[in-house]
């Protein structure tokens, strides 16, 4: 299995993406993680397709669908799209991320993971920890995992940043076993 990290941004900090690749690989051992170049020429098209102008947010499900329709991904691979824009999904005012369960694509949205979104002083370390947790969480969904009832497990549902900050960056033992089994099925 391979995981492709797909940034959707005009400016990319590859040092952060390399760190993110290393931290994700702690939970997805023996999985090759590849950082792909930004798809800058398509950003405007992606945003036009998925933007809900009345909310000034991206419709996350539409964004995921754009990638399903326009990007070829091998069956034994996953793509994690990282977007620096706010988004929502059906029935939710906002989402930190979303994935099609047992799908090929997951997405994480950065703005609400930043302290400054809430008028607070920036905290790069806290922001980065949140990004790692959300990336691992959404990739877990893409591998078929559901939300876990253990509040410290990375697969626990985050209804707020407090939930995200409380949980660990790792799967609980039960979710680890399920994730390993799902990866073996893909090989």
Q: Which residues are catalytic?
A: 138
Helix (H) or strand (E) segment spanning residue 35: strand 32-35
Task: Tokens for 90, please give them.
Answer: 């059906």
Give rounded-to-5 percent helix, strand, coil for the chain: 45, 20, 35
Report the alpha-carbon distance of residue 94 to residue 32 in Å, rounded.
31
Residues 6+ apart with CB under 8 A from 140: 154, 155, 171, 175, 179
């Amino acid at each position: 299995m391979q995981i492709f990290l797909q940034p959707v941004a005009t400016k990319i900090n590859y040092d952060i993406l390399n760190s993110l690749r290393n931290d994700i690989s702690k939970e997805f051992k023996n999985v090759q993680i590849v950082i792909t170049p930004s798809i800058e020429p398509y950003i405007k098209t992606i945003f036009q397709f998925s933007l809900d102008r009345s909310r000034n947010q991206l419709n996350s499900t539409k964004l995921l669908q754009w990638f399903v329709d326009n990007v070829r991904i091998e069956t034994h691979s996953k793509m994690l799209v990282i977007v620096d824009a706010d988004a929502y999904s059906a029935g939710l005012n906002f989402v930190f991320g979303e994935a099609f369960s047992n799908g090929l694509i997951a997405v994480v949205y950065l703005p609400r993971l930043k302290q400054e979104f809430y008028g607070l002083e920036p905290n790069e370390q806290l922001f980065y920890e949140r990004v790692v947790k959300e990336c691992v969480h959404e990739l877990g969904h893409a591998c078929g995992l559901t939300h876990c009832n253990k509040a410290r497990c990375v697969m626990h549902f985050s209804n707020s940043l407090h939930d995200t900050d409380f949980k660990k960056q790792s799967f609980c033992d039960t979710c680890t076993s399920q994730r390993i089994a799902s990866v073996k099925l893909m090989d």
